[in-house]
Structures are given as C-alpha cells and as structure tokens.
Amino acid sequence: MSQQAEKQEPAARELQEEKFFFVRHGQTDANLAELAAGAGWDIELNATGLAQARALAESVAIEYFRSVKTICVSPMIRARQTADIINEVIRAPVIEIEELREWHLGEWERRSWHELDFRIGNPPGGESNDEFANRVVKGLAAALAHAGPVLIVAHGGVWHRIARHLELPHGEIDNCQLKHVRRPHKHEVWSVS
C-alpha cells in the first residue's frame, strides 16, 4: 500500500456509516408475572419467549441480520437462548460480553415491579445506577470493537442504558424487539429505528 493510500484510509473510515443491531431476549416467566429479574436471577425463556425468538429469526427482519458479522451477547441464559435461535439462521461468531448482563437488582430481584420505588435510587444490596450505566457503556464499547455490523442480544435495562448513553429517544424495548442503530459517520449523532 502506498503512503498516500495509508494516509487516506483513516479519514475514509471516519466517513463510513456505523451501525449495530440490538435485540432484547424473549419472554420469561418473570416478564409475564411482571417480576424484577436482574443479573441475580438467571431465568430461562418460557415457551412464548422461545417462540418469539424463532419468529424473529424467521421474519423479514432477518434480512437486516444478513450483514451481521458478530453476535455479542449477555452471558445470561435468556439472552444466550435468544441469540442461539437467531444464530441458527445467520451463523455468525458469538461472543459473550460480561458487561452486557442485566442490572443487578439486589433485594429487588423477584419482586413485583409495582412494589419497587425507583425514587430511592439504587437497589439495596445491588448495583448502583452509576455502576450499571458505566458497565453497560464498557460492554457496548467491547461489542462495537468486534467485526461489524454487530448484533447485541441482551436485556431491557441494558437497552435503556445504551439508549441514554447514545442520546436516543427510544429507551423502551419489548421482548424480542429489534432495534437498528446507526449514524452516517463517526462525527454524527446516532438514530434508531
């Protein structure tokens, strides 16, 4: 490669579109019962959650996934099960990223969401909001360091933190919902669809 080509290459990379995909795991019995299931409760998908993951893998949305080079997944069973089902179709390398685990909710684990008072801030015996946010940002950076586009399969709380970090308007996400996150180039703002 010539010296002139080497000088242009970094500049060209900065002008390339950046994108990644995010999928929240399929439904669990905790989701169905509206119970808090953070990092302290490693619950499996229920029958509906397995069907949701299969439906996503077989949907027209899978066309988005055809370009995925790497799947980065939370090590929690519900996320792994979802990623494994999707990967039956796209067949990309799967990388577990510890920082993509759900928020550790301490004493709030297995309690009804309606009982919890988020005004007190941090869950007793769990991970603080700041600790969780910082961990997720590290997990996102680790995921995006892999060959892309990347598909991240993780949790609702993780998506909420990513959306806040990237200043995206859509912090809510349903089970097995696909989010397509992109920006025209490195110096632009992220958008989601």
Q: Mean pLDDT in each 10-residue stretch from start to end of the chain (193 residues)?
A: 47 63 97 93 97 94 83 98 95 97 93 82 90 96 93 96 90 92 84 84
Q: Residue 28 domain-assigned?
A: yes
Per the residue annotation, which of 17, 18, 25, 131 is the catalytic one?
25
Q: Residue 11 domain-assigned?
A: no
The pLDDT assigned to 62 comes to 76
Q: Residue 152 domain-assigned?
A: yes
* The total number of structural domains that make up the chain: 1
Per the residue annotation, which of 18, 88, 96, 102 is the catalytic one?
102
* Cis preceding linkage at 149, omega within 30: yes
Q: Residue 3 domain-assigned?
A: no
The pLDDT assigned to 15 comes to 52
Question: Which domain range does residue 46 map to?
Answer: 19-192
Structure-block tokens of residue 42: 């490693």
The pLDDT assigned to 6 comes to 46
In angstroms, what CA-CA distances link 180 with 7, 77, 173?
31, 23, 12
User: Cα separation of 34 and 167, whole Å?
Assistant: 27
User: Cα separation of 42 and 190, whole Å?
Assistant: 31
> What is the CATH classification number for the domain harbouring 68?
3.40.50.1240
Q: Which residues partner with 70 through β-bridges? A: 150
The answer to whether 25 is a known catalytic residue is yes
The pLDDT assigned to 185 comes to 80
The pLDDT assigned to 16 comes to 67
The answer to whether 9 is a known catalytic residue is no
Q: Which residues partner with 28 through β-bridges? A: 45
CB 46 within 8 A of CB 32: yes
What is the helix (H) or strand (E) element at residue 96, kind and residue range? strand 94-96
